[in-house]
Structures are given as C-alpha cells and as structure tokens.
Amino acid sequence: MNEIDFDEIDINENAPYEEPQRQYYYIKKCRDYIQKKKQELSRPMYFTIKTFGCQMNARDSEKIHGILENIGYVEASENDTPDLILFNTCTVRENANLKVYGNLGNLKKEKAKNPDMIIGLCGCMMQEPDVVEKIKKSYSFVNLIFGTHNLYKFGELLNEVYSSNKMVVDVLKDTKLIVEKLPTERKYAFKSGVNIMFGCDNFCTYCIVPYVRGRERSRKPEHIIREIKDLVNDGVVEIMLLGQNVNSYGKGLENSISFAKLLQMVEEIEGLKRIRFMTSHPKDLSDELIDVMSKSKKICRHIHLPVQSGSNSLLKRMNRHYTKESYLELVDKIRKAMPDISITTDIIVGFPGETEEDFEDTMDVVKKVRYDSAYTFIYSKRTGTPAAKFPDQVPEDVVKDRFNRLLKQVQEDSAYRNAQKLGNTVDVLVEEQNTQNPEFVTGKMDNNSTVHFKGNKELIGQIVKVHLDEAKGFYYYGTIVTNDAEIHGDEVRI
C-alpha cells in the first residue's frame, strides 16, 4: 500500500491529471530535490509533525508522515534540528488555536537562525479565513498553509514551496473528492485508525466541525475493506473506524449500506482481532448496530456516546435531536444487550443560557448512567457557529463551579466502574513500554481501560491475559497470567 514505483514515473513529462498518480509524480519531484539537498549538506533531512486535536487529525498526520518519508525526510529525534516543521491544527475550542499561535511565536526566533527551515500549517484551523489572514499578517515567515480538503496534495504543494519564496496558501471550502491509495506511515505497528467517512452534516449549534471538515461523505466499503486487509497483512490487529458520526455511514453512496453492515464485513477479515469505532451520535444509533455488536467476537465492548447536556431545552438549542429521556432509554437498551459494555461521553458545561436547573439535568444523567469515563469541556465560543450569537453567555465563575462539580462526579463514577472489574482476568493489547518504569508495559482492555503490568517490550502488539490487581481511578495495575503461557509467534496462549 505504501509502495510507489518511482522508476515508472518520468518527471520530465507533464504532471498527470488523475489522482493519486499526480501526487506520486510530485512526490518523486520532491524526492529528487531532497536527494540533492542531502548530498549538498552531507546529512539527512529531518521533519517534525506536531498534531493537535482528535483521532482524525492523528490519522491525517500519519498520511503526511507517509508522504514525507517517501520524499526522503527522516523524522527528527530530540537532538536533531528539523528542516521541516508541520503543525496539524485543531479549532474545536479556542484553546487549541491559542496553542498554535504560542508555538508559532516561539518558532520565529528559530526561523531567523535557520532561514531554510520550512514551516507548514494544515488542519481544521486553516479552514477559517480569519486565521489565514492573521497568519499572513503576523507570521509571514510561514511557508505553507493548506486545509483539510486537500491534504492529499501535500507533495504537490511542497514542491511549490521548494521553488517559491512566497507563502504557498491552498485552502478549499469543501470537496466531494476522496483520494485513495496515498502512502501512510503508522505510529503503531499493531493498530491503526481507518477513515470510513469525512465531514459532518449535523450542525450542532456550538460546533465548528461542519464548517471546517465539510459535508459528510462516506468511503466505499470495498475501499475500506481493502485498506484493512492490507493493514492486517502488515501486522495490524486492532483498527479504529473513524468518522464524526459513524452511525450515519453509507448515506449517499451509490449502493447505500448501514454502519452495522459495514461492521459485519470488517468482522470477517481474517487475522483482525479488535474493532473499535468513534464517534457515535445518539440520534442515529440503531437497534441493528446494538444487535451486531452484541453478537460480535471482535467489536470492542466500548461505546463513546456524547450526551453534551442532560437538559431538554439545551439539547434542543444545541440541535442534538434527542431528549434526556430518549438518551437514557438508549443507554438502557445498550446495557441490556451488553451488560459488560463501557460507555463514555462528552459533556459541555456553560452552553449559552445554561441555568442551574439545566445543569442539574446534566448531573442527573451523569448520576444515572455512571459513565466509565467522560470528557468534560467548558463551552468555547466559535465564531461562525449559531451559538456564538446566542444571548446569555454564562459568567465564567458560574461555569467553573459547575465544571468542578461535574468533574468530581465523573471521577467518582469512573472509579466505581473500574473497581467493579477488579479481580477479573482480561485480554489486554500491549501498546508500549511504561514511560516511568521500563520494567512495566502499558496496554488497553477491550473496553478501552488502561492497564500497567510487569512485562518486557517484546509483548508490544500482543494480546495477553492480565489479572486486574488494583484499580487506580481510571487505570489498573495488573499481573500477566503466565502459569503455562507459551509464546507462539505473535501471541501468548494460556
């Protein structure tokens, strides 16, 4: 999948029009340029990618990484000065934007010392015209800006940067195009995200995503299956199907198909051991999906089901299309079908007009569901979204107080849920060596909980049985069950 036959490409001819061949052509052009640079400098050319935000961005960064490695760059380690720095940005909350400006401010001096350094910006924040204007004005040392819809063009744009002394800016408002078969370089050898759809059509009134990621479009199932089979052949055992609203997967495809059907197709892929997905919108979660999940051997017992608020009037003004009651019914239905499932959520505190009563409704849902874990956010006003113009923005001190009360509750619930599984022996996919203690490794249970246990790094990428000894809030300490464990190639059999 990552192999491009560069010998086949003649860069003295004109660039082809079709994708991805056009990009392969430009990658080869960049490759020749970087080859010369390396000879000139007698050293490798280094790059760094800094990724902000969600799993989608993490996956996009893997695609950029793949293109850069094909061009001939090497990822910089701590002591290398990068020749190219790319920020893959997020704009879901104001904080994310501030971090990028902070990083750019720091880079100004660096760039003055090292004028050949290429600085690029991409991702959601670049889809906002005001941001691009600000960067052109205040950070004119940036070399390249592109958006979420033309990431596939990175090679072509970089080629332009090499021959230009002006800032290259290419941001599209939206696209229907999905370019397949670009090179990617995974962060983990044994697990991978897989995009199944792009964009979002829900227009929740607080959210900027539909404006920066464009209209919802699904990849064809055959392309998704091909990609996963290739990943499995390359050593992947766990995949995470990615979309802003995976439950509406398949709408608009020539042969329309449901998300549950796609899951059934993915389940059949031999060698694949775990299937995850993210994110589910409660309004579109079907009985068919619950049924498929409960019968599946590979779909992980975890569902991320953002509630955002427990107040019906707020949910209406958020444009969420469900009520507190229907959400709670859905949770009941899911738990009845799969009693051991983990349910996690996103909650926003301080949405415009939120009263104490509204907040109490949110607390009530939280207390009733007792989430395994919850991401709690303070409402952030995003220019261009309907909620930015709503009256009655909630005073900061009130929001902070509510936020702290909510946080205390979700932490208690998380500890309660974790304690329930104590003493069980569970399957854990070992992900990395523990950063604090090299004698330990860290892995994930199928319900997404984190477990630390004594073990060596040869276990990374394997699914092993671990006894849960101690629950620490939202993670565990455990012991690998090794009694008569035999190591068989890539897995431990008990």
Binding stretches for ligand SF4 (CB under 6 A)? 200, 202-204, 207, 209-210, 244-245, 281
Q: Does the footprint of ligand 5AD cover residue 207 (CB under 6 A)? A: yes
Q: Can residue 93 be called a binding residue for ligand 5AD (CB under 6 A)? A: yes
Beta strand spans in 90-244 (E): 118-123, 144-146, 168-170, 191-195, 197-198, 217-218, 238-242
Query: Does 373 sit near ligand 5AD (CB under 6 A)?
Result: no
Least distance in Å: CB of 471 to ligand 5AD? Answer: 26
453 binds ligand 5AD (CB under 6 A): no
Beta-ladder partners of 373: 344
Q: Which is nearer to ligand SF4, 375 or 416 (CB)?
A: 375
Minimum CB distance to ligand SF4 smaller for 276 or for 281: 281
Q: Does 308 bind ligand 5AD (CB under 6 A)?
A: yes
CB nearer to ligand 5AD: pick between 282 and 478:
282
**Cβ partners under 8 Å of residue 436, min gap 6:** none
Per CB under 6 A, the list member of 382, 402, 444, 465 interacting with ligand 5AD is 382
How many chain residues touch ligand 5AD (CB under 6 A)? 12
Residue 475 exposure: Cα atoms within 13 Å on the Cβ side: 8
Q: Site residues for ligand 5AD, window 226-285 (CB under 6 A)?
A: none
In the complex, minimum distance from the CB of residue 121 to ligand SF4, in angstroms, rounded to a whole number: 21
**Binding partner of residue 281 among ligand SF4, ligand 5AD, none, CB under 5 to 8 Å per kind?**
ligand SF4
Reported in sequence order, the residue ranges of 112-154 that DSSP labels E, i.e. its strands, are 118-123, 144-146
Which tokens is 451 given? 């477990």
Q: Is 206 in the site for ligand 5AD (CB under 6 A)?
A: yes
Distance CA 237, CA 235 (A): 6
435 vs 339: CA distance, rounded Å: 33
Q: Which stretch binds ligand 5AD (CB under 6 A): 294-302, 372-380, 433-441, 466-474?
A: 372-380
- Tell me: does residue 348 bind ligand 5AD (CB under 6 A): yes
Q: Which helix (H) or strand (E) holds 452?
A: strand 450-454
377 contact, one of ligand SF4, ligand 5AD, none, CB 5-8 Å limit per kind: ligand 5AD
For 294-355, give the secondary structure using H, E and C.
HHCCCECCEEECCCECCCHHHHHHHCCCCCHHHHHHHHHHHHHHCCCCEEEEEEEECCCCCC
In the chain, count of helices (H) and strands (E)? 13, 21
The CB-of-449 to ligand SF4 minimum distance in angstroms stands at 24
Among residues 69, 160, 288, 346, the one that binds ligand 5AD under rule CB under 6 A: 346
User: Are 489 and 460 in contact, with CB atoms under 8 Å apart?
Assistant: no
Tokens in use for 258? Answer: 């449901």
Q: Residue 198's binding partner, choosing from ligand 5AD, ligand SF4, none, with beta-carbon cut-off 5 to 8 A by kind? A: none
**How far is residue 469's CA from residue 205's CA, in Å, rounded to a whole number?**
44
Q: Examine residue 70 and tell whether it contacts ligand 5AD (CB under 6 A).
A: no
Q: Which residues bind ligand 5AD (CB under 6 A)?
A: 92-93, 206-207, 306, 308, 346, 348, 377, 379-380, 382
